[in-house]
């Protein structure tokens, strides 16, 4: 028996609109729904309207126009939403057939879902009947359909044909649940051969599906791609990927399906990132696989912090960025003004004028082929401006715990830490040790066993009122470090920069770390040893307060529209 009619849907069948591009298993899915005992199906009821309005040619054009009603609005009213004998009516639609002349009822009424397929799997067989084009493919129109339905408050379920082939029952059960209809097991099988509800175009398009009795098995390896269609692939893939992000989850992937993790700051889910020479949404902000930062960590970077409409120490950070790029022999480096402009545009576009942090990266750029040699970098440098809402990353009110890593800090004999480069394996290995010890960070020693810095910050200690910090022989001489050294002197403390052993830090009265991302962070324990009385010391608090005053008053203003 058929399912009872859902309440509130009127007298006719509940219409289920299935929107897809051609060659997307849409006919197989129509055959699947046709097996239900509560379903009638319509095969592309708007096809004649499409041919009539657009004038597009097809081998069967004249026959189709003579046998199908080309009046789209009449079809919408009488065929799609007309009376019927079953509870549900499944309408297979090809996205390009949704034309502006059609009644708004088409989108406002019924239940909708979207079937997508990777253009890599569509295009190899697409030109068997019609010459391929972006219009014929219709993936852009699928995005428009999705957007319009979201605007109507009816965001449609999106399923992927690859998932449907991998796990048809799982996908169909999920789709039925999203549509609010019961799943029926008979949806998984059908008899081979033509169907009475097939459109007259079936002999041109349905030969393969007529041989099937269920969803075809997913192919582990793709067909060889017809590279004459490479430009069309480039045009259509971004639209497919936009819709792919709306799929429940990749079914049957070789990689385990992981849920989206919560972000430390949820507002960063929707940010704009500068990549190359443009601003892009977070999920679209990517660099080429040929970029040097991917090929070998071949890039330099800076961290910037934003306070009350100003970028703190911007010029000092840019000085170091250019010094690092020069030490790395970068060529075609952007100008200082161009980089500043990109920084300001990114902050303004995101509305970030306070409590934000920027990860500023300059890569050697894209290579013409994979390989280590900078001689392959012929496109010029690439700039990334990643601005996020980010308060200080450590607990600066109560302090943090450190452990000492077995990983030693790089010697200038190998990789000079004064080059602020992206090859951070040395630091990451130490950070792993810190994570495993459940400490916030890890102290790194130099080759002689003296303290250099932590995996992420410079480090200071206080003993009997004197402030000490290690020489910057093995560590990055941080800009926040230099700022704090000046503050220590201005606050009338004695400052010594010298070699410091680990045991001296264990026995210190106070310890703190410095860095742009974390500012001034008290350390209350090192290697299980309590620092001082285990609380934030008076010198640390005084320097923290002085730093807060300094950041409130200094910095390069972020220009606003209308500024001179």
Among positive and negative, which fits the CA dihedral 314, 316, 317, 321? positive
427-441 tens-digit pLDDT: 999 999 999 999 999
Would you state the pLDDT for residue 219? 78
Q: Taking each helix axis as running N to C, give the angle between helix 230-244 and helix 139-151, from 0 to 180 degrees, rounded to the nearest 10.
A: 20
End-to-end CA, the chain: 75
Query: Has residue 512 got a pLDDT over 50?
Result: yes
Would you state the pLDDT for residue 257? 65
How far is Cα 460 from Cα 451, in angstroms, rounded to an integer? 10
Which residue would you say has higher pLDDT here, 256 or 12? 12
| Contact indicator for 182, 166 with CB cutoff of 8 Å | no
* Nearest alpha-carbon partner for 474 in 447, 497, 510: 447
Q: Could you give the dihedral angle defined by the CA atoms of residues 141, 145, 147 and 149, in that order, rounded to the nearest 10 degrees?
A: 180
Q: Taking each helix axis as running N to C, give the angle between helix 314-327 and helix 336-350, from 0 to 180 degrees, rounded to the nearest 10.
A: 130
Q: Give the distance, in angstroms, between the CA of residue 321 and the centroid of all CA atoms in the same chain.
A: 26
- Give backbone dihedrals phi and psi of 503, rounded to 5 degrees, phi first: -65, -30
Tokens of 294: 């991917």
Would you state the pLDDT for residue 129? 66
- Averaged pLDDT of the chain: 93
Residue 534 Cα distances to 375, 512, 513, angstroms: 54, 12, 15
| Contact indicator for 512, 463 with CB cutoff of 8 Å | no
304-313 burial: b if 16+ Cβ within 10 Å, else e: bbbbeebbbb
Q: Could you give the dihedral angle defined by the CA atoms of residues 453, 544, 320 and 418, in that order, rounded to the nearest 10 degrees?
A: -10
- Give backbone dihedrals phi and psi of 456, rounded to 5 degrees, phi first: -135, -10
69-111 tens-digit pLDDT: 999 999 999 999 999 999 999 999 999 999 999 999 999 999 9
Which residue would you say has higher pLDDT here, 374 or 2? 374
Would you state the pLDDT for residue 220? 79
How far is Cα 338 from Cα 340, in angstroms, rounded to an integer? 5
Query: Has residue 53 got a pLDDT over 90?
Result: yes
Query: Has residue 8 got a pLDDT over 60?
Result: no
Domain annotation for the chain: domains and CATH numbers: 14-244 (3.40.50), 266-389 (3.30.470.10), 400-552 (3.20.10.10)
pLDDT mean over 156-172: 95
Query: Has residue 248 got a pLDDT over 90?
Result: no
Tokens of 286: 């990517």
| Contact indicator for 35, 191 with CB cutoff of 8 Å | no
Query: Has residue 249 got a pLDDT over 80?
Result: no
Tokens of 399: 């302090």
Q: How confident is the model at residue 1 (pLDDT cuts 50, 70, 90)?
A: very low
pTM equals 0.84
Query: Has residue 11 got a pLDDT over 80?
Result: no
390-442 tens-digit pLDDT: 999 999 999 999 999 999 999 888 888 899 999 999 999 999 999 999 999 99
pLDDT mean over 110-131: 88
Tokens of 171: 């996908």
pLDDT mean over 151-172: 96
Tokens of 414: 């190998």
- Give backbone dihedrals phi and psi of 395, rounded to 5 degrees, phi first: -85, 90
**3-class secondary structure, 92:** strand
**With 0-12 CB in 10 A as exposed, 13-18 as middle and 19+ as buried, what is 62?**
exposed
Q: Please, which residues bridge with residue 356 across strands?
A: 306, 389
Radius of gyration of the chain (CA): 31
pLDDT mean over 477-497: 97
- Give backbone dihedrals phi and psi of 189, rounded to 5 degrees, phi first: -140, 150
Which residue would you say has higher pLDDT here, 161 or 563? 161
| Contact indicator for 181, 157 with CB cutoff of 8 Å | no
Look at 379-383, 403-407, 472-476 and tell me which has the smallest mean pLDDT.
Answer: 472-476
Kindly provide the residue ranges of all beta strands, DSSP E only, lying in 240-343, ordered along the sequence: 272-275, 278-281, 299-307, 310-311
| Contact indicator for 6, 14 with CB cutoff of 8 Å | yes
């Amino acid at each position: 028996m058929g399912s009872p009619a859902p309440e509130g849907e009127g007298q006719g069948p509940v219409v289920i609109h299935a929107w897809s591009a051609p060659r997307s298993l849409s006919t197989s899915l129509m055959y699947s729904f046709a097996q239900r005992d509560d379903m009638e199906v319509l095969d592309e009821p708007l096809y004649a309207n499409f041919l009539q309005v657009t004038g597009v040619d097809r081998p069967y054009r004249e026959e189709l126009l003579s046998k199908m009603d080309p009046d789209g609005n009449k079809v919408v009213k009488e065929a799609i939403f007309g009376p019927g004998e079953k509870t549900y009516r499944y309408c297979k639609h090809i996205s390009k057939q949704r034309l502006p002349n059609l009644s708004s009822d088409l989108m406002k009424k019924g239940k909708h879902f979207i079937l997508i397929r990777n253009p890599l799997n569509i295009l190899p067989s697409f030109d068997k009947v019609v010459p391929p084009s972006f219009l014929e493919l219709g993936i852009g129109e699928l995005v428009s359909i999705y957007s319009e339905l979201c605007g109507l408050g009816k965001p449609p379920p999106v399923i992927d044909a690859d998932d449907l082939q991998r796990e048809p029952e799982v996908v169909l059960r999920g789709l039925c649940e999203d549509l609010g209809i019961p799943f029926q097991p008979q949806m998984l099988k059908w008899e081979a051969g033509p169907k009475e509800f097939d459109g007259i175009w079936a002999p041109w398009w349905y030969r393969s599906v007529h041989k099937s009795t269920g969803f075809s098995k997913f192919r582990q390896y793709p067909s060889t791609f017809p590279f004459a269609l490479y430009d069309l692939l480039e045009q259509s893939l971004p639209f497919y990927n936009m819709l792919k992000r709306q799929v429940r989850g990749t079914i049957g992937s070789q990689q385990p399906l992981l849920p989206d993790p919560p972000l430390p700051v949820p507002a960063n889910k929707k940010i704009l990132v500068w990549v190359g020479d443009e601003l892009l949404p977070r999920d679209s902000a990517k660099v080429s696989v040929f970029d040097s930062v991917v090929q070998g960590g071949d890039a330099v970077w800076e961290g910037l912090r934003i306070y009350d409409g100003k970028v703190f120490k911007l010029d000092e950070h840019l000085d170091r960025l250019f010094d690092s790029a020069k030490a790395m022999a970068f060529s075609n480096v952007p100008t200082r003004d161009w980089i500043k402009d990109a920084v300001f545009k990114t902050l303004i576009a995101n509305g970030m004028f306070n409590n934000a942090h920027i990860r500023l990266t300059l890569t050697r750029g894209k290579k013409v082929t994979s390989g280590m040699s900078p001689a392959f970098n012929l496109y010029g440098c690439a700039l990334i401006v990643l601005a996020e809402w980010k308060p200080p990353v450590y607990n600066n009110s109560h302090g943090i715990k450190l452990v000492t890593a077995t990983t030693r800090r790089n010697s200038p004999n190998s990789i000079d830490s004064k080059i602020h480069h992206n090859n951070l394996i040395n630091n990451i290995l130490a950070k792993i040790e810190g994570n495993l010890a459940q400490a916030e960070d890890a102290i790194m020693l130099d080759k002689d066993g003296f303290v250099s810095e932590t995996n992420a910050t410079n480090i200071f200690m206080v003993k009997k009122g004197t402030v000490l910090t290690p020489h910057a022989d093995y560590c990055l001489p941080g800009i926040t470090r230099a700022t704090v050294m000046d503050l220590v002197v201005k606050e009338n403390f004695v400052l010594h920069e010298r070699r410091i052993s680990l045991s001296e830090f264990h026995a210190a009265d106070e310890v703190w770390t410095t860095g742009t991302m974390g500012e001034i962070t008290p350390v209350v324990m090192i290697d299980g040893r309590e620092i001082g009385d285990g609380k934030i010391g008076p010198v640390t608090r005084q320097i923290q307060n002085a730093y807060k005053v300094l950041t409130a008053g200094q910095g390069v203003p972020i220009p606003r529209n209308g500024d001179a």
